[in-house]
Amino acid sequence: MSAVVVFIDQTEVSTSPGHPVLSKSSQELLTLARLAGEPVAAVAGEASDELAAALGGAGVSRVFASSQDELTGYLVAPKADFVAQVATAAGAAAVLVGNNFEGKEIAARVGIALNAGVISDAVGLTVADGAITVQKSVLAGSYTVEASATSAVSVISVKSNSVDAEPAAVPATAAVEQFTAEFAPASLGAKIIERTPKPASGRPDLSDARIVVAGGRGVDGNFGPVEELADVLGAAIGASRAATDAGWIEHSAQVGQTGKTVAPQLYISVGISGAIQQKAGMQTSKVIVAVNKDAESPVFEIADFGIVGDLFDVLPQATAEIKRRRG
Amino acid sequence: MENTALNIAVLVKYVPDAQFDRHLTGAGNTLERAESILSELDEYAIEAALALSEARGGEAAGNKVTAITMGPASAVAAVKKALQIGATEGVHLSDEALAGSDAAATSLALAAVVRHLGGVDLVLTGMASTDGETSLVPAQLAARLGLPQITFASSLEVDSSGEAHVATARRDGDIYAETIQATLPAVVSVTDQANSPRYPNFKGIMAAKKKTVTALTLAEIGVEPASVGHEGSLTVVKAAEAREHRPAGTIITDSGDAGIQLVDFLAAQKLL
Ligand SMILES: Cc1cc2nc3c(=O)[nH]c(=O)nc-3n(C[C@H](O)[C@H](O)[C@H](O)COP(=O)(O)OP(=O)(O)OC[C@H]3O[C@@H](n4cnc5c(N)ncnc54)[C@H](O)[C@@H]3O)c2cc1C
């Protein structure tokens, strides 16, 4: 079985409470990697015993790890060099990375380094006769296409929530090898001169949350009702660009074309009109609920359950009702 | 530096307007060229280029902002729009052989254009195209040109007081906000947080008529036709299916108990 290298970034670990040592999206990548071949982990940062144990549980027996300073001292390129070189060392037929901004860029550069086709925004993959076919959603989620790489190696960035993360049927013992990557001078051209951690929200990560409650211009500067509903549901908080531009909430909460693409089990859209750029980031959610006081809002076209009403009435009532039912 | 002028190349793309329905067609499942516009996200790159140029005296002081596009004959409209907004000149790479290029082939061709122009200090791009949406090209372009890559910049400044032009940018990640520095030449992609793009005004529209757009073919930039287009691409789209329209949902008007009904709905969906 050919090796499938999965990039695992331990240099950027979520500070969310209860965050597992192996992130949910990494577990999803490993689940897919097992489908496509023998999973091999390329770990940037420290491969702790705890991580190695988690990787073993995900069926990984070979781990290549590097804590070289360049990986965190420069933007993207060194991580891509590392992943490409691990892929070569492991004789990989495929490389899987996450689909966040950095993941896509790593995929892009690994593609150049290995002269390999890159497929981003994957939502699933199938393997027949050793060849990988990737399902990806395009045109703001309005089409699903099947694509594949024609090169020896396939490089794929996979969206969160594309597969249910599962442990390996047969766990492995992960042997960690320290790997020393070589960096081209041009890879060390964009230096990170300052890095400020973002304050932890105490809520699930937006990208892989099961439930998202998102607020827009309609919240009028007050995310309180959105936060309270999110907290009783254990949800992450999202926002429209109007809300992030107004400075009511962090830019990292933005959902849409220029923010995050999310596909949770449940997306509750609150005081958001549903512009095409907003829909681009959320319309593949399983269930969509919309609360908006304008019955003509386009968001109702994609809502499974829509409430024409004032969010300041509807949300507090729903929050109180959930609390009441739970006693 | 004595001469602080910058030679900036801005990559712009002509894309189907997302306000209308977009369709995939043909054997290669390529995007139907419908009602098209300059990709909105490229407006931020043009604005970033113009702001840098103006801050150092604009065209009169030797600053150059070249808008480059690659695509069929109609794609020149993206360059023309960039010229109306304020770019100083345009370049249009057009060749039958380019049709169906994936990110690898696109970045190969665009890298060749940048090399062909020569002397470019800064290659600016949008954060993604609004049709392909992959964000792969800027990173691949940087890799192919062997230049530093600063991508998803939410701010960009260039300091020319030292021996070289030094770019400083901010990048907002989920876990960190980072400040990044690179000596030019470099490839920089900017987000929609970087600035507020200007619209072309009447003066700009008139002035654009006098600006030159250089047409280039693959032969002129030394690119083998087989290395781009369907043939040179490293990925194929084998099938495409329109996502089913979401079935119409239940829409209610709040008459005092909508919050309760919402909870009933969530409970019925087993989402509580
Ligand atoms: C290049 C580009 C990129 C973009 N990227 C994104 C992106 O990634 N994500 C994104 O979201 N947008 C993006 N946009 C912006 C997008 O076009 C819309 O402008 C934006 O989504 C609107 O946000 P909104 O729905 O919150 O505000 P509005 O459109 O103003 O809608 C507010 C809604 O709130 C409702 N409302 C008001 N008060 C109440 C109340 N008390 N109770 C209930 N409902 C109420 C109103 O009826 C209205 O429908 C982008 C735009 C451009 C040009």
pLDDT in tens, B121-149: 999 999 988 888 788 999 999 999 999 99
- For domain B7-232, give its CATH number from 3.40.50.620, 3.30.390.10, 3.90.1010.10, 2.50.20.10: 3.40.50.620
Q: Cis link prior to B185 (omega < 30° from 0)?
A: yes
How far from A58 is each of A5, A37, A54, B25, B92, CA to CA, in Å?
A: 13, 13, 6, 40, 49
Q: A49 — contact with chain B (CB < 8 Å)? A: no
In the predicted model, is pLDDT for residue B30 greater than 80? no
Q: Considering chain A, what is the average pLDDT of its residues?
A: 94
In the predicted model, is pLDDT for residue A284 greater than 90? no
Q: Which domains does chain A have, with CATH numbers?
A: 3-188 (3.40.50.620), 211-326 (3.40.50.1220)
Q: What is the pLDDT of residues A194-204, one digit of tens each?
A: 999 988 888 99
Q: What is the pLDDT of residues B157-187, one digit of tens each?
A: 999 999 999 999 999 988 889 999 999 999 9
Q: What is the pLDDT of residues B39-54, one digit of tens each?
A: 999 999 999 999 999 9
In the predicted model, is pLDDT for residue A140 greater than 80? no
Q: Is the CB of A16 under 6 A from ligand 1?
A: no
Give the pLDDT of residue B151: 95
Q: What is the pLDDT of residues A43-72, one digit of tens each?
A: 999 999 999 999 999 999 999 999 999 999
Ligand 1 centre from A157 Cα, in Å?
28
Average pLDDT rounded to a whole number, residues B219-234: 97
Give the pLDDT of residue A194: 97
Banded model confidence at residue A104, pLDDT cuts 50, 70, 90: very high
Give the pLDDT of residue B27: 72
Q: Which residue has the higher pLDDT, B167 or A15?
A: B167
Give the residue from A305, A240, A283, A238 showing the smallest Cα distance to B271: A305
Provide the chain A residues 247-266 that lie in CB contact (below 8 A) with chain B: 251-252, 257-258, 265-266
Which residues, in sequence order, are CB contacts of A166 under 8 Å at separation 6+? A31
Provide the chain A residues 152-181 that lie in CB contact (below 8 A) with chain B: none
Domain ranges for chain B: 7-232
Banded model confidence at residue B88, pLDDT cuts 50, 70, 90: very high
Tell me the shortest Cα–Cα distance from B164 to chain A, in angstroms.
14
Give the pLDDT of residue A16: 60
In the predicted model, is pLDDT for residue A321 greater than 70? yes
Q: Is the CB of B17 under 6 A from ligand 1?
A: no
Banded model confidence at residue A125, pLDDT cuts 50, 70, 90: very high
Supply the ipTM of this predicted assembly. Answer: 0.93
Give the pLDDT of residue B32: 73
Give the pLDDT of residue B2: 78
Give the span between the Cα atoms of A63 and A56, in whole angstroms: 9
Give the pLDDT of residue A307: 98
Give the pLDDT of residue A130: 83
Give the pLDDT of residue A18: 65
Name the residue in chain A with its Cα closest to that of B31: A139
Tell me the shortest Cα–Cα distance from A210 to chain B, in angstroms.
10
Give the pLDDT of residue A17: 60
Residue A178, CB-side half-sphere exposure with 13 Å CA sphere: 5
Give the span between the Cα atoms of A60 and A52, in whole angstroms: 9
Residues composing chain A? 327
In the predicted model, is pLDDT for residue B24 greater than 80? no
In the predicted model, is pLDDT for residue A138 greater than 90? no
Q: B244 — contact with chain A (CB < 8 Å)? A: no
Contact B223/B109 with Cβ under 8 angstroms? yes
Interface contacts A/B by beta carbons within 8 Å: 281
Give the pLDDT of residue B217: 97
In the predicted model, is pLDDT for residue A19 greater than 90? no
Q: Is the CB of A241 under 6 A from ligand 1?
A: yes
Q: What is the pLDDT of residues A225-258, one digit of tens each?
A: 999 999 999 999 999 999 999 999 999 999 999 9
User: What is this structure's pTM?
Assistant: 0.93
Give the pLDDT of residue B132: 80
Q: What is the pLDDT of residues B232-270, one digit of tens each?
A: 999 999 999 888 888 889 999 999 999 999 999 999 999
Give the pLDDT of residue A287: 97
**Most confident of the following: A129-138, A160-169, A295-304:** A295-304
Q: Considering chain B, what is the average pLDDT of its residues?
A: 94
Banded model confidence at residue A325, pLDDT cuts 50, 70, 90: very high
Centre a 10 Å sphere on the Cβ of residue A193 and count the other Cβ atoms it contains: 10
User: Given A101, A139, A148, which is nearest B235 (Cβ)?
Assistant: A148
One DSSP character per residue, chain B reads ------EEEEE--EEE-TTS---EETTTTEEP--SEEE-HHHHHHHHHHHHHHHHTTTGGGT-EEEEEEESSGGGHHHHHHHHHHT-SEEEEE--GGGTT--HHHHHHHHHHHHHHH---SEEEEESS-TTT---HHHHHHHHHHT--EEEEEEEEEEE-SSSS-EEEEEEE-SSEEEEEEEESSEEEEE-TTS--PPPP-HHHHHHHTTS-EEEE-TGGGT--GGGSHHHH-SEEEEEEEEPPPPPP-EEEE-SS-HHHHHHHHHHHTT--
- Full strand arrangement of the beta sheet holding A3-9: A175-178, A62-66, A38-44, A3-9, A92-98, A154-158, A117-128, A131-138, A143-149, B235-242
Please tell me the least confidently modeled range out of A33-42, A147-156, B172-181. Answer: B172-181
Banded model confidence at residue A13, pLDDT cuts 50, 70, 90: confident
Please tell me the least confidently modeled range out of A255-269, B13-27, B83-97, B201-215. Answer: B13-27
Average pLDDT rounded to a whole number, residues A207-215: 93
Give the pLDDT of residue B231: 95
